[in-house]
Every structure is written in C-alpha cells, then in structure tokens.
Amino acid sequence: MSRDAAIARAHAHFDGGEFLADLKRRVAIPTESQNPDRAPELVRYLTEEMEPAFAKLGFRCRILEEPKAKGPFLFAERIEDPALVTVFGYGHGDVIRGLDESWEPGLSPWIVTERGDRWYGRGVVDNKGQHGINLAAQAAVLAERGKLGFNAKWLIEMGEETGSPGLREVCARHKDLLASDVLIASDGPRLNAERPTVFLGSRGGASFDLWIDAREGGHHSGNWGGLLSNPAIQLSHAIASLIGPTGQIRVHELVPKHGLPEAVRRALADCELESGPGAPEIDPNWGEPGLTGPEKVFGWCSLEVLAMEAGTPRTPVNAIPPRAWARLQLRFVVDVDMDGIVPAVRRHLDRHGFAYVQVAPAREEVFPATRLDPDNPWVAWALDSIENTTGKKPALLPNLGGSLPNDAFSEILGLPTIWVPHSYPGCSQHAPNEHVPVALVREALGLMAGLYWDLPESGIGTRS
C-alpha cells in the first residue's frame, strides 16, 4: 500500500482501456443543454451513467431538483468519518451543441475517435473527461488504500453550458448537506498541454447589448445619404469610445479598481502563454499596455464585441439601415463591481454624447468573478503534491481566463477552491473537433491519484 502504487493503479486504468471505455459511453449520451429536445438525455447521463459509477465506489446518491435548472443535480457522498476532512468535487455532464455537420470527415461529436495522439468527441474535455479523471483517481486511491482517508462529496450539474441556472439556489438550499472543507475540481485548460496547472477561481463574464433604433425602415442611400444619421456609423463610434483601437478598455469602472495585485503579479511571473499548433497567433500589442500576456488574461479585464448587425449583411442593399445592434462581453476580475457594469457603460455613453445609444444586459446569467488568495495553505499543498508526482513545476493561475460558477462554491458554500484542469488551450472546446491529448489524460489520472492520496497524510484541513 503506497502512493506510487495508487498512481500505478490510475495509470493501469488508462493503459488497460477501462477509462476510455467509460468515456466513450458518456460521450455517446448527447447532453446538449442548449437543445430542449435533449432534456431526457440530461437525466439519463446522471441516472444511467454517473449514479452507478459513484455507487460502485460506495457513494450514497440522491437527485436534487431545482425549478430554475435545465436538469436535475446528482449529489453523491462517501462519509468515512465525520472527523475527517471533506473534499467537494464538482463536474457538469452537459455539453455545448454538437455541431455535427461541422466536424472533420470521420469525426462525430458523439463518438470518441482515436486519431494520432488525440481523442476527439464532444465532452472529452468539457467536462465529461475531466470529472471522469477525478472520479477514476479516487477509485485508484480507494482500491489501493482500502479507503479514501477523507470524506468525499460530489455535485454533478447538467446546465453549466447555459449559465448554471439553479446551481446557486441548490447550494444555498442544501448548504448543510454540501458542507465541506475544500473544493478540488477540474474544468478549463492548463496553461499549456505539457505543464500541469492550478487555478484558484475564474474571471466573471457579463454580456450586454448596445443598439440604436433610428427610424422605421431603410432609405435609399443615394437620395438620403448625407441627410439621415446612419445608426451603424453612430454605433461604431460609441463602441470606439468604450474600447481603444488596440483593445484597451476606456471605462475606468470596467477595470480593476486597485490595479494588478502584487500576489497576482508574483504568481504569474513564471507563466508564459503559447499559441500552440492550430491556435491563433497572439497579438502582442493588443490589450492593456504594460501588462504581460498572462497578466492580461488572468489578472485584468477584456471587453470584446461578440456580434454586430446592421442592414442585411448577407445581401446588402443601397439603403441606410434603420437600426444597428451589437453584443459586447466583459470578462472581469474580482476588483470590478459586477452590478455596476451596465450603469457604468450608460454613464460613459452619456458623457461622450451617445445618449441615443440604448444599453441593456443580455439575457445570459452573469458569472461573478472569484479568486482564492494565492497564499492560502491549500495552494502550496496542491502545488507540492502535483510537482512530486509529475516532476514538473505547476503553473499557478490566480483565476481562469474564462468563467465558471465558482462563486457558488467560494461564496455560498464558503470553500477554498482548487481547480486542476485536464485540458489545454487548443482543445477546440465549444467548437467542432473538440479533443484532448492522450498523454495529458494519462498524466492527469496519475497526478490526481497522488493529490487524493496525499490529502489525509498532509494534515491540511484537519479538523480540531
């Protein structure tokens, strides 16, 4: 009975094909939460796939319902001793739309396909593969030690890809049931495929619409050009007042109030962004001046135009459009007032002579920003454990560049949050041809087995 033996068990689970077999079954369930026709599949993933997997390891399971949610939640717990530390695991079984016809020939979103050194399929990284790795790692520790050595609780949701509706209500209503000492979960990408990574929260995400309704109907550009205001031109200037020509945010309320914290700068000092094969080339002069690439993504905010429309883009006609519309999105960090984003935009537009531009929140639910203190003792423990297993110094990201419903765990449940991602930036998450490098999966199984093995022996989180 040893740490090395537990890691070897996790690797054997991969080498023998058992992990891949589990992943193939799970990916084959088309759990598109954005597609109402797939609602029965959301339930099936929990009841036919995940519940038996947890029960096999001695977990007690129950379904939690919430009217706001896209589907049910699966809660699973294995309590070995109330005096032991309790680890909370999280995953989501829903996926983004399959986009079946856009995948490369020979690939399908619902069939895990081995091609070269990658596995392709919808959910292999987001998030079926990732929570599957963690559960398999716990199974390896349990088989080797005969017990976990800690208590484990899990929550699997089926609506993360639509903004996690109902998750916060479930956490608030079942706070005692879900009570734990630390969250250890996996989602999102590593800094790069080769370097294990820990991140401590996520940037928030808030979308809002800008639009101008100038008049009823279009008017001939020859007869009326130069006489009628053009809402497309006006809206372009309004957006330019918000975002500079190199992507710098021009609204002070939409960037960190106190600048870049020293702890964040220190954590990111040895991190380097890499485009990688198939990824776009990074524009070094885009974004906030004076910041490194990692600081721009993990320590600062970005304001992006996601879509714009005026006239009839596919079949342009010689007419001044009556209306122009754009959707913008702010990715923001913890030092930005989430509730003040749209009001700040409104004030800025008014100050700059764009009172006729309308602004309103988009319908998507807002993800708040979260960040665990990099000096929290759970962080050093996790980094040491991963380095001990892999021989690699992990990257420490104060928060993910994207957004996760981490506030449900950090704010409502009050947990320190340790995220160990099992993907990489070029994985085509949310796009056709989603994939994961095979070597990354094998390494992740081992490092998570080591992490879970170390937990009871470290003394961290031990209750007095």
Quick one: 120 and 97 in the same domain?
A: yes
Residue 277 lies in a domain: no
Q: In what order do the strands lie in the sheet with 435-437?
A: 113-115, 118-120, 435-437
Residue 442 lies in a domain: yes
pLDDT of the residue at 280: 82
pLDDT of the residue at 366: 77
Contact indicator for 328, 251 with CB cutoff of 8 Å: no
Residue 302 lies in a domain: yes
Quick one: 374 and 415 in the same domain?
A: yes
Quick one: 257 and 334 in the same domain?
A: yes
Contact indicator for 300, 288 with CB cutoff of 8 Å: yes
Residue 273 lies in a domain: no
Asked which of 361, 392, 407 is the last residue of a domain, the reply is 361
Asked which of 305, 339, 361 is the last residue of a domain, the reply is 361
Residue 310 lies in a domain: yes
User: 396: domain CATH number?
Assistant: 3.40.630.10
Quick one: 337 and 230 in the same domain?
A: yes
Residue 66 lies in a domain: yes
Residues of the chain under the 70 pLDDT cut: 275-278, 364-365, 461-464
Residue 270 lies in a domain: no
pLDDT, the chain, mean: 95
Quick one: 209 and 87 in the same domain?
A: no
Quick one: 167 and 40 in the same domain?
A: yes
Q: Is the dihedral of CA 95, 99, 103, 107 positive or negative?
A: positive
pLDDT of the residue at 464: 40
Residue 388, preceding peptide bond in cis (omega within 30° of 0): no
Asked which of 361, 384, 405 is the last residue of a domain, the reply is 361
SS3 418: strand
User: 234: domain CATH number?
Assistant: 3.30.70.360
Quick one: 345 and 398 in the same domain?
A: no
Domain that holds residue 251: 204-265+285-361
How many independent structural domains does the chain possess?
Answer: 2
Residue 348 lies in a domain: yes
Quick one: 35 and 114 in the same domain?
A: yes
Quick one: 153 and 256 in the same domain?
A: no
Quick one: 37 and 164 in the same domain?
A: yes
Quick one: 9 and 123 in the same domain?
A: yes
b (16+ CB within 10 A) / e for 295-330: bbbbbbbbbeeeebebbeeeeeeebbbbbbbbbbbb
Quick one: 135 and 35 in the same domain?
A: yes
